Amino acid sequence: MGMDFSTLRTLISRYCVGEENWVDSRTVYIGQKEPPPGTEAFIQQRFPDNRITSSKYTFWNFIPKNMFEQFRRVANFYFLIIFLVQLIIDTPTSPITSGLPLFFVITVTAIKQGYEDWLRHKADNSVNQCPVHVVQHGKVVRKQSRKLRVGDVVLVKEDESFPCDLILLSSSRDDGTCFVTTASLDGESSHKTYYAVQDTKAYNTEQEIDSIHATIECEQPQPDLYKFVGRINFYMDSEPVARPLGSENLLLRGATLKNTEFIYAVAIYTGMETKMALNYQSKSQKRSAVEKSMNAYLVVYLCILISKAIVNTVMKYVWQADPNRDEPWYNERTETERQRHIVIRAFTDFLAFMVLFNYIIPVSMYVTVEMQKFLGSYFIMWDDEMFDEELGERAMVNTSDLNEELGQVEYVFTDKTGTLTENNMEFIECCVDGHVYVPHVICNGQVMPGAASMDMIDTSPGPDAREHEELFFRALCLCHTVQVKEEETVDGIKHGIHQGKSTSFYISSSPDEVALVEGMKRLGFTYLRLKDSHMEILNREDEIERFELLEVLTFDSVRRRMSVIVRSSSGRLYLFCKGADSAIFPRVISGKVDQIKARVEHNAVEGLRTLCVAYRPLSQEQYQEVCQLLNGAKLALQDRDKRLAEAYDLIEKDLILLGATAVEDRLQEKAADTIESLHKAGMKVWVLTGDKMETAAATCYASKLFHRNTQILELTTKRTEEQSLHDVLFDLSRTVLRQHGGMTRDTFSGLSGDCTDYGLIIDGATLSAVLRPSHEDSNSGNYKEIFLEICRNCSAVLCCRMAPLQKAQIVKLIKASKEHPITLAIGDGANDVSMILEAHVGIGIMGKEGRQAARNSDYAIPKFKHLKKMLLVHGHYYYIRISELVQYFFYKNVCFIFPQFLYQFFCGFSQQPLYDTAYLTLYNISFTSLPILLYSLIEQHINMDILKKDPSLYRDIAKNSLLRWPIFIYWTLLGVYDAIVMFFGAYFLFDNTTFTSNGQLMTTNTQMMFGNWTFGTLVFTVLVFTVTFKLALDTHYWTWINHFVIWGSLIFFVVFSLLWGGIIWPFLNYQRMYYVFMQMLSSGPAWLSIILLIAASLLPDVVKKVIWRALWPTTTERIQHVRDNREFERAMAYHSSDSLLDGVAVTET
């Protein structure tokens, strides 16, 4: 039998659906070569090609797919139904009246989306067609990127980008490493080191690479950029040799090769399976509070529409109950209509009335809102005050759907490191066995002149202490992942360290590590390089010491520590470990713990970032055990991370404490001023950080989150060890509620002076206990509520020792609380992404921890200080503008359709339209759309300088105050009132009629031709002028563009009406509007009537505003009043000076 059972088993496991191995791993054959017979079955799996597709549509599916997406919107679908009803049954208005606006909206949106997709197609093609070099049969061949396949061996040269996800086989560097920048993936511009597979790192020619006979087993593609698990099997003469593969061997598509001449690597994930492509999947859609209000109003108006249609249908049949009215001589029914069942007749009439009144639902509002959001977002990107010269970056808008939400924020959740602080570390001091060492100031490579000496505080270490001191310095020189750049220029940027001398420059993905290594340099121990797996350091005697680097136990945010295992030149084995005090102290068995702990706490209170350093000597036997543990974990394909964590836990124990370091991370410029402004605006600021409590608390005081008179409440592990969690929570609850008399402080009461300010500090462990549902304690269900009650009464909250997921849990907890406040999360690192995605509005800072936060956020800003303008100015304006836009749209459509409803009572409920078809179609598209769009883009009810200086103005728009139901009802009633004035005003003008000599029916009062279309045109003229003037009255910020658009749209209406009624159009079957508009304007009393009706319509709104501003003004209105008075005084002073000059001129003459 040609195939043995193991081969059959492999086949079954590959192709049986649901088999775990098939789901979780893939096998890649390097160079598409089959493995030797008898090792394993050669089953070539199907993988996608290397084509990247970011576009949504193709030429063939654009129309159906785009139409489907657009008609998923309720308003579009509703208008489609109305349009179809108009086509099917005999309705009073032409199908064009609803079909044309719908066609306009759909076409504009389709063109916009089609153009965006065409740009994506262009970008895709340029990427997919770029050339790549592939090794085939010992030669290098050029291919288009899209033709690359999994298993192909690729040659990449310096400064080229990787065409897909690759496993590094060899590099031009002797040690098999290569340097890479991942700026396009996570924004980190620092050079990261990646390692070739040990067995192939010496292969430097195409022939050698082609001779590799191996397969790679690895996990199926997943989007985590920093996680990769796999192994490579080499087929030698004997058994296959397995080697582990991790993220340090994986080169990601989009990253760029730097400072390395060339590399050979094998493709393992291609096209849409690369990590970069998987990370471009769309995030969940966030919806703003304004959009929710809009949809609620739409439902109300739909109910109004249906009730209008029902009332008119009922009234029609009541009217027709009288036989004399049922069939007038001029409108007799056909035989078919008489025989139709009354229910069908009634339903048809109901649909006809629905069609007649359907304009109360504003279809064009959605397209106007979209345009307003899209165009409005450019004001953030164009804002020069939010441009950072140091980074050369502007604010970015990743989604424009949430612009107005920036004006509604109630809770701000901020990260500390890199967000409130600069993430620019400066080594301050180190403490070894209680002796403190302070070098001169050094900061990221920049050393002040004459800083070569060392300031020793406490200069009395004995011989043992001297040995420990040197061991401590060596530990810090060896326990890190810093790279050394020998050249003075790195990527065109000069990094001189000494006067005129080109020396080494340190780079690392962690600013802390650079600061520590540079600090050691100032204290006499210089880290030189990593060469051939040996780390070289220069000691105080200028002797080079070499340590063989055996293992690196990498840092992770759960362990909060990292370790290295090294062998000294004398053969001694050491494990050096550095990490957070909470991660090191429990693992220490000896050393001067008390003195060092006291110094760490002292530094933490000063706001410094502290790290502890420990070591453990290893025997050869212990090292062998460690190797077995690590290799077993590294070769695992399933749960590798978990097994590595368990192995690290077993290795990093029985440590001897050496000392601690202190590094300062300065506050960002204007961070304190920004937080103070947010407090005054009524927002609650929470700081969520992974740092220790003392360091974070010091930062909170410096940034004015806590004030000196703030009473600090602690909900920490230390306190819950002394008392039960239940007792601590109830104690804190009693404290805050006693102060507030049992009433919770309103979210927007801010920092009132008459009551104590409370600040709460909670740590991650206690938070887990609060959120964890426990079955043992019946009260635990209430812990969340009590915790929230305490938080509501605190002006600021600090959460320390937080894991990334806990940050998101906190945001989710506040979002789900009974007030449902609007939350904003701001951070700069990958650990803040979950919090940014969870909050209503996520803001990323373009910091030193990469661009992951900025890429996943809704908005990105260069510095924390820019948050102030973003919320207090842009957010305020956006909300004011869009709330007016939404209310105004509903108002103008009520004004438009309510006269149509009233008219039915005067035309026997015959579904006769009041307005001409052209007016019905163009009212929302042309006559009234541009002024409100422009208003919603440039309105500034208050000067932006005042908004920045007085943050309390933000409270005037808090909690969606301008889109509350009372205001919505007021706008609707105002629309109904205006409609009644227009309709009955025009009706009374037409009250008395007489026949002229030529048989025309004329109105007695105004001498206008009496008729349905004249009456409708008069109402429509008053309507267009009234709603446009109403917007003009609401405008505070006038520019030439406003004047042009507002008066221009009125002129357009008049010109259109003159042309529409003044010319016989050949394409119209009948022309009922012929000469109607001109005849109406030829009557003098009609002009007066129009002016009077417009004034009567606008009067109540003006009176209401005057009374409200006089009796109950908001802060905004008071400032507007003061501003108007100042402008008036300035104008008066200018005029009086002019008249004075005129007087002087007269005297002189």
Helices within 195-332 (DSSP H only): 206-210, 275-279, 289-319, 323-326
Closest CA relative to residue 157, chosen from 263, 34, 39: 263
- Three-state SS string across 91-140, please? CCCCHHHHHHHHHHHHHHHHHHHHHHHHHHHHHHHHHHCCEEEEEECCEE
φ/ψ (deg, to 5) at 1069: -70, -40
Closest CA relative to residue 371, chosen from 104, 122, 83: 104
Closest CA relative to residue 611, chosen from 663, 651, 653: 663
Contact partners, residue 1124, CB within 8 Å, separation at least 6: none
Query: What SS3 state is found at 179?
Result: strand
Cα–Cα dist 93/80, whole Å: 15
Cα–Cα dist 977/1027, whole Å: 12
Cα–Cα dist 225/213, whole Å: 28
State the chain's maximal CA–CA distance in angstroms.
129
Q: Based on the number of CB atoms within 10 Å of its own CB, is 412 exposed (0-12), middle (13-18) or buried (19 or more)? A: buried
Helices within 440-566 (DSSP H only): 463-478, 511-522
Catalogue the long-range contacts made by 1058-1062 (C-beta closer than 8 Å, 24 or more residues apart).
1060/916, 1060/918
Answer whether 259's CB lies under 8 Å from 492's CB: no
564 - beta bridge partners? 552, 576
CB neighbour burial string for 981-1003, b if at least 16 within 10 angstroms, e if fewer: bbbebbbebbeeeeeeeeeeebb
Question: In degrees, to the nearest 5, what angle opens at C-alpha 383 toward C-alphas 378 and 389?
Answer: 125
Closest CA relative to residue 378, chosen from 401, 397, 404: 397
- In this structure, the chain runs to a length of 1149
Give the gyration radius of the chain's Cα atoms.
Answer: 38
Query: What SS3 state is found at 424?
Result: strand
Query: What SS3 state is found at 569?
Result: coil
What are 962's two structure tokens? Answer: 């301008």
Closest CA relative to residue 445, chosen from 430, 427, 428: 427
Looking at residue 172, the DSSP 8-state letter turns out to be S
Catalytic residue among 349, 401, 415, 1101: 415
Cα–Cα dist 418/832, whole Å: 11
Cα–Cα dist 481/477, whole Å: 10
- In the sheet with 153-157, reading across from the earlier edge strand, the strands are 139-144, 131-136, 153-157, 262-269, 165-171, 250-251
Looking at residue 442, the DSSP 8-state letter turns out to be E
Residue spans of beta strands (DSSP E) within 958-1066: 993-995, 1001-1003
Query: What SS3 state is found at 195?
Result: strand
Contact partners, residue 867, CB within 8 Å, separation at least 6: 412, 674, 678, 826, 843, 861
Query: What SS3 state is found at 412?
Result: strand
Cα–Cα dist 255/156, whole Å: 11
Catalogue the long-range contacts made by 816-822 (C-beta closer than 8 Å, 24 or more residues apart).
817/788, 819/410, 819/747, 821/410, 821/411, 821/747, 822/289, 822/405, 822/408, 822/409, 822/410, 822/411
Answer whether 267's CB lies under 8 Å from 149's CB: yes
Q: Would residue 199 show up in a list of annotated catalytic residues for this protein? A: no
Contact partners, residue 669, CB within 8 Å, separation at least 6: 863, 865
Q: Which residues form the catalytic set?
A: 415
